[in-house]
Structure 1
Amino acid sequence: MAQLLGPAEIRGLAAELDVRPTKKLGQNFVHDPNTVRRIVELSGVGAGDSVLEVGPGLGSLTLGLLASGAEVAAVEIDPVLAARLPATVEERAPEAVSRFTVLTRDALKLRADELPAPPSTLVANLPYNVAVPVVLHLLAELPSLERALVMVQTEVADRMAAGPGSRTYGVPSVKIAWYGRARKVAPVPRSVFWPVPNVDSALVSFERAEKPASSVDRDSVFAVVDAAFAQRRKTLRAALAGWAGSADRAGKLLRAAGIDPATRGEQLTVTDFAAIAECEGVPPSV
């Protein structure tokens, strides 16, 4: 059984490596074993699962995931932290060494062929400033990912899981919904991190689902989404004028998609946005 890291071990490792956590890399290390166990439990991973962990840091969550019996590929951008992880696993979970791989990479540039096996689950404590881009990149790059559990800033969690009509519903909400369903499942207290962050955190779960449209590609839908939310207070007829070529044509395309041109973007589902994108190929004379 893996020996999880507590506050003393986290500080000891940081001192050994002369690591001074930086805001730039979003380095706030989890030092509470009970929180780690809860994350692993909520992720649903177990023996035989292939897990991708992003931002393992000093290895707190890594050890918890390995204790579940899963195979873990950890992607760490900090070369100092990445270099220490194998030794931490060997010291505290020697029976799991063969199930662990670490890659020194920027997760935003990770490619599927760099991983030892196609992962089925993403479990991560994500830097708040890149959380949404990382999740979207990995969902696009790794079709094998069926589910995820990510720890992010509470405000980011709200945006990721928001539904139409919500105050926090926007581009991240719609783009993540293209791949499946996100839910905010639990808060995470600041006290479980070192150093203590000045923001609250939450866990977001994700389950992949069928895409909302088979006849239109992701980039076409995302172009409509970006245009619709670029000017949130405008009606879709006005907001999509640049995308469609004119406000008049935007109105015609919206009506062709069965959507009132006076509607605003925050009222639409991802299926609605896909319907608009499908109408893009309608001749300009329509």
Structure 2
Amino acid sequence: MKQSKRLYSPAVIKEIIERHGFKFSKSLGQNFLIDGNIIHKIIEESSIKKSDGIIEIGPGIGTLTQSLCEAAGKVIAIELDNKLLPILEETLQEYHNLEIIHKDILKVDINRLIEEKLRDMEVKVVANLPYYITTPIIMKLLEEKLCIEKIVVMVQKEVALRMKASPGNKDYGALSVAVQYYSKPEIVVDVPKNVFMPRPNVDSAVIMLDVYKEPVVKVKDEKIFFGVIKAAFGQRRKTLLNALNSGIDLNKEDIEKLLEKTGIEPKRRGETLDINEFARISDEIYEMINNY
């Protein structure tokens, strides 16, 4: 061990935040992990090697960062809260393979960051994400088609269930299809409320997304594909025919024709369709639009 104090110890956290006069920010979703077993499990499931470059989002005071630095070749920790910067400089000063960046992750050019700081490394994102912006962060990481092998993140449990859900499941929705288009999700550990300081109101889960080199289905136009998904789940009680009629720029007769061509029953609801069926519908819409 490079450092005798383990930063996930509640006594250590209390001492550090009291000495720095740090106050937890609800608006920034700050909840620090205080369970070493969960941290070890995250490291283990991430399969981190010394040849890996890690991007961590929201390091807090460094409870997870410490173990990431000990396992990986290089760690880039992106922290929005400037009040945490002097704490991180102190708690992680012994780790020379760490770089802390003070920025909003949603405004970071991650492709450029990887090119400049993690070139020739296998890149993974490992983090305890701030829950208030979990979905925008996940979709940024996936939609930008980064050179990332794996994403292992702590999220609100209900969000993890939605990412992993299959057709017909009550949790299945637009997020499920979008995440599964880019990656294979797997919940690797359930996390109770009592392993955080302060304790959140919800249970959590660590989800691992194995990122595909190419999306799991080929579509002719991604914008149309995601437009179909948004329309299908926009009003869950509507039949597919009525949902698409409300959500995409085609008349009802044309939608009936294209559904007939795909062999998909118009009276089905969006939540029963799998990703391949969404792809078939979007490709038919593409053909219809381009043949007008």
Q: Is the contact between residue 212 and residue 271 of structure 1 (CA under 8 Å) also seen in structure 2?
A: no
2:162 equivalent among 152, 159, 163: 159
The residue type paired with residue 131 of structure 2 is Y
What is the CA distance between 1:38 and its match in structure 2? 1.6
The aligned counterpart of 1:147 is 150
CA distance in 2, matches of 1:83, 1:222: 42
Of residues 30-39 and 233-242 in structure 1, the stretch that sits farther from structure 2 once superposed is: 30-39
Q: Deviations over 1:236-276 (max 9, x none)?
A: 11000130422222222222233221111111122221221
Structure 1: 5+ residue stretches without partners: none
User: Could you state the TM-score of these two structures normalised by the residue count of structure 2?
Assistant: 0.90
Aligned to 1:248: 253
- Residue 68 of structure 2 aligns to a residue whose secondary structure is helix
Map 1:57-136 → 2, pairs under 5 A: 57-90=60-93, 94=94, 96-97=95-96, 99-111=97-109, 112-115=111-114, 116-117=117-118, 120-136=123-139
Match of 1:34 among 32, 37, 53: 37
Q: 2:236 aligns to what SS in structure 1? A: coil
**CA displacement at 1:217 relative to structure 2:** 3.6
Q: Which residue in the other structure is 1:223 paired with?
A: 227
**Identical aligned residues as a percent:** 37
The yes-or-no answer on 1:173 pairing with 2:172 is no
Whether 1:10 and 2:13 are equivalent positions in the alignment is: yes
Stretches of structure 2 that go unaligned for 5 or more consecutive residues are none
1:11-48 CA-partner distances (Å, limit 9, x unpaired): 12222332211221110001222221121111111211
CA distance in 1, matches of 2:145, 2:112: 10
Separation of aligned partners in 2, 1:154 and 1:125 = 12
SS in 1 for 2:92: helix
Task: Please show how residues 173-252 of structure 1 align to structure 2 within 5 Å.
Answer: 173-209=176-212, 210-242=214-246, 243-252=248-257
Distance 2:108 2:254 in 1: 39
AA paired with 1:154? Answer: K
CA RMSD of aligned residues (A): 1.9
User: Using a 3 Å threshold, how does the CA distance of structure 1 residues 31 and 228 change in structure 2: closer, same or farther?
Assistant: same
Q: After superposition, give the CA deviation of every residue in 1:104-134 in whole Å (9 maximum; x if it has no partner).
A: 1212222121342256211111122211210
Paired residue secondary structure (2:207): strand
CA distance in 2, matches of 1:125, 1:157: 13
Change (3 A) 1:171 1:259: same
Partner residue of 2:283?
278
SS of the aligned residue for 2:288 comes to coil
Q: Tell me the distance in 2 between the aligned counterparts of 1:248 and 1:126.
A: 45
Is the Cα contact below 8 Å between 1:244 and 1:250 reproduced in 2? no
Does the 8 A contact of 1:241 with 1:249 survive in 2?
Answer: no
- Maintained 8 Å contact 1:82/1:103: no
Q: Is the Cα contact below 8 Å between 1:237 and 1:262 reproduced in 2?
A: yes
CA–CA distance in 2 between the matches of 1:148 and 1:199? Answer: 22
Cα–Cα, structure 1 residues 279 and 2, in superposed 2: closer, same or farther, change >3 Å? farther
Deviation at 1:2, TM superposition (A): 3.8
- Counterpart residue identity of residue 249, structure 1: D
Assess, with a 3 A threshold, how the Cα gap between structure 1 residues 89 and 236 changes in structure 2: closer, same or farther: same
The farther-off stretch of 267-276 and 192-201 is 267-276
